[in-house]
A and B are shown apart, each in its own frame.
Chain A
Amino acid sequence: MYFYTLLLAVCVIVAIFLTPLRHKVWVATGAVALSAIGAITLAIMAFANGPVTLAEFHSPLFGNETIVVDKLTSLFLVIISVASITTTIYSKGYVGGYFNRFSPAHISLHYSSLVVLVVSMMMVVMSSGGFSFLFWWELMTIASFLLILFEADRQDVRRAAINYLVMMHIGFIFLVIGFVLLYNVTGSANFSAIVDYFKMEAPLPLFVILFIGFGMKAGLFPMHVWLPEAHPAAPSHVSAIMSGVMIKTGVYGIMRLMQSIDQNTELLFDIGLIVLLSGIITGLWGVILAAMQNDIKRLLAYSSIENIGVILIGLGIAAVGHAAGSDLIGMCGLCGALLHTVNHSLFKTMLFLSAGNIYSRLHTTTMNQMGGLAKYMPVTAILMLMATMAICALPPFNGFVSELLIYIGMFNGVSDGHEVLYSVAGIIALSLIGGIAVLAFTKLYGVVFLGSPRSHHVAESSEVDNIRIGAMAIPAMFILFIGLFPQFAIRPITMVAEAISGADKAIAINHFAPTLEALSGVCWVLISIVLLLFALKHRLQSERTIAQGPTWGCGFTAPNIRMQYTGESFSEGLENIGKPLIKDKVDGRAVDKGEIFPSPHNYQVEHKDKMDSLFSLWWMKVMHRINEWVMRLRTGRVNNYITFALVFFIVVLILTIVGIL
């Protein structure tokens, strides 16, 4: 089975290499679309009739394997399918701009990696665990590494890609250790064996090892540092698929882990606490750093970290709730987390693709060189506004529905007296995350799309082609559907939640259904109130003179566009509070307060994450120190080297006499 899948992938790759330059994208799209259709069919079957056993076979490398598509797998298959179709179609316009810069082989490699990434992500969620899971996981890492390397002639891209590869392998080592431990104890490395392991051995160490391994992919604090480096380097559609779905495979792993621990409530409580705490820290860290970034894609990358935090808060609350004996809280948190996984894949894909539209026109992702893009790229502006509101969890879009479910779970915890303190911690964190996310995204949207252009490139830009817009419309439709009809969207989610937690989904449905129906109703009320008010305003203004003029400058007669609020000034207030989290990298010098007639200055500041040093700086320093010490031995004198050899022999001799060697 695996062999045939790989063979098929190789056939597709050969086909991509053989087709003419302009048609390569269609081969890739065809392959992705076929696998997506297959995956969605399987998912529908699994949702309708329960788990589908796709294949049972013996593979020479991994032993006996079964591929079963259950409900959790189906949910992720759907997410992967939607995002990969969207991004592959989108890539036509985006990669088209590079045809004269790169050789056809380079383009082919890119599309091949895209296909391999999609297939490997699907196989990751389908394989039942064990070493085959690790195989596909590794293939996914390598494919995404090649995808990040697309613009390999840029040095920062190469550095980010290598950084990504190293970080992913640190995580991979943890996963290997975890699965080997599992195999040693139970004789099987499948996910289903984790249940047995937890009964036989102390469960917490294995959980933590696997949690770190999956967390590296998901971007958990403090292992998130690869995300803000990799995303600005990767092409936008690759960022979209990586941030939208690939990091979710880490969340998938964590969900699989939690699926294995129902019975042991004390353990579930501990694990819930770990997950909740890391969710809170990840979410807050991500969102505060996001609000300080001045690069679109770095901001979006940090926002992905924040959303992973929100998902984990939901999961943590669910576990704590289940452990406390409240299935209601458990179902609320779990459904919220699952729905947020879906939602985030939709709006984050859209946001990164919008960033791609901007990059393909302006060739930069620095926010402070933009401004007023809404006039020149109106459709992108509307789509981006929608995604922005969805990610800020504003009604009537989808982000609100999932956060509402998590909130309901926590408020239930508070009002029923179950684990009040944890619920309150979650409420505080989630509301602060929500508030700062609004700050981050109004900054992003306001500085990029609104106001006056800050560079002449903006005024020369135009809307992108219809294929890209069409691709972005796919997630847009889902965003609106989940936002306006949450009562239908929640049904498959409750089925998945039931499969994970073992609690009865009727609890969830009885509890949510009236709320979500009411929510759908009031969202329509909101839309109609806004439309009515707009009509009213139109009527009131119809008989009056509507004039146009310059922006009111408060009496100042010579305002210019450089006086606009920049992204840096927009988040200045937050920077004063969040200073301990960042390390500024300053180029040039700011205007001194004493300068009455300022001379020209060049000032650029980049807010770097303090956690960067956790993975780069300290072990570099340690290595340097060891190196320095070793270098002292290299004196260049032959007599010293002979002494070293003599010392070595003496040591060997002594050890032999003592009997150690």
Chain B
Amino acid sequence: MLVKLLNTLLMVVVALSITGVINRTRALLAGRKGIRFLQHIYNVNLLLRKGAVYSTTTTALFRIAPVVYLGATLLAFLFIPIADLEPLLSFHGDIVFVAYLLALSRVAIVLAAMDTGSSFEGMGAAREALYGALVEPALMMGMATLALFCGYSSFADIFATAQELNMNLTIVLLLVAYVFVVIMIIEAGRVPVDDPKTHLELTMIHEVMCLDYSGVDMALIHIAGWLKNAIFAIIAANAVAVAFSFHWWFAAPLAILATGIAIGVVESFRARNKLSRNATFILTIVAMSALVLLTGFLLIQNIEI
């Protein structure tokens, strides 16, 4: 039980600090003083104490959606272990459950965006739905690669098994980690797929869906975003940990630092994709995850190429 609590606590720490690391990295690279490490938490705290304005076009679904969005993400979050620690919840086949919980959260926010009747939010909803659909196979194949190597289909079992791995498989696992980091970028709507800083532009995806939310609802959406980031960051870090037989004290800081710095660096040096290139970008990742899985399979079977 203590282990489970430690795991959850560490997860929360990871979730809270990734955004801070991204912001600090960007500030450092741009030579700015930048905002404080915990600024995003203060912002959300402020939002939690605000009132709200609801559009007269919306129905009750609009008010329930942020709650479902956060609720589903939170439940998914509780299934994720940090390396060999035990997660709070676990059952056989939970990798599928987590993927569909994330789909549930996506459906909630997409429907809420359609509920406002705004063309901007409809645009964001359409893009989110499409990219979500395209990225799903990459997610499943990443998980399948892990299941192939570790022989289980629940997060807890996959990451808890001590692996006797050789160099080839280590490389494959590192690629899996890379795939998960890119999936995180896509799901979180960061550069190069989407730019969270371009408020009120026609070119964005995730931020535009939440235009009509304010106060508590916006805070819930932000929190859910952190949790979602943490889920993918930790799975990526876990893949690395499995590759080198590292333990949780290594995986937790790795999840924060590696993904945070990676995203910060990418955002500092790369421009956002043209939107029409996004589908290609995502399909490339899907193809890459398929390739990783195939390579892993061939290596496991000891088939010489």
Contacts and interface: CB of A to CB of B under 8 A. Distances in A.
Interface of B is mostly: helix
17 contacts: A375-B59, A404-B97, A424-B290, A432-B133, A438-B129, A518-B91, A525-B75, A541-B51, A548-B55, A549-B54, A550-B55, A550-B57, A552-B116, A552-B212, A554-B200, A555-B200, A577-B279
B22 interface: no
Interface in B272-301: 276, 279, 290, 293, 297, 300
A571 B126 CA distance: 7
B51 A545 contact: yes
Contacts of B152: 415
A322 B125 CA distance: 42
B91 A420 contact: no
B28 interface: no
Interface in A362-401: 371-372, 374-375, 381, 385, 389, 392-395, 400
Interface of B: 48-59, 61, 64, 66-68, 70-72, 74-75, 89, 91-93, 95-97, 99-101, 103-104, 106-107, 110-111, 113-120, 122-123, 125-127, 129-130, 132-137, 139-141, 143-144, 147-148, 150-153, 200, 211-212, 215-217, 220, 276, 279, 290, 293, 297, 300
A577 B133 CA distance: 12
A547 B54 contact: yes
Contacts of B48: 540
Interface residues of A, number: 83
Interface in A388-424: 389, 392-395, 400, 403-404, 407-408, 411-412, 414-417, 420-421, 424
A411 B117 contact: no
Interface of A: 371-372, 374-375, 381, 385, 389, 392-395, 400, 403-404, 407-408, 411-412, 414-417, 420-421, 424, 427-428, 430-432, 434-436, 438-439, 442-443, 445-447, 450-452, 511, 514-515, 518-519, 522, 525-526, 529-530, 533-534, 537, 540-541, 544-555, 559, 561, 563-565, 569-574, 576-577
A411 B126 contact: no
Contacts of B153: 408, 411-412, 415
B93 A411 contact: yes
Given A404-B93, A439-B133, 8 more contacts: A403-B100, A414-B148, A432-B134, A452-B117, A519-B91, A522-B91, A544-B215, A554-B200
A442 B111 contact: yes
Closest 6 CB pairs of A and B: A565-B122, A446-B114, A435-B133, A518-B91, A544-B51, A451-B117
Q: Is the interface of A mostly helix, strand, loop or mixed?
A: helix
A442 B147 CA distance: 31
Contacts of A432: 133-134, 136-137
Given A389-B107, A421-B297, A570 B137 contact: no
A446 B111 contact: yes
Given A414-B148, A452-B57, A554 B120 contact: yes
Contact of A548 (B54, B99, B137): B54
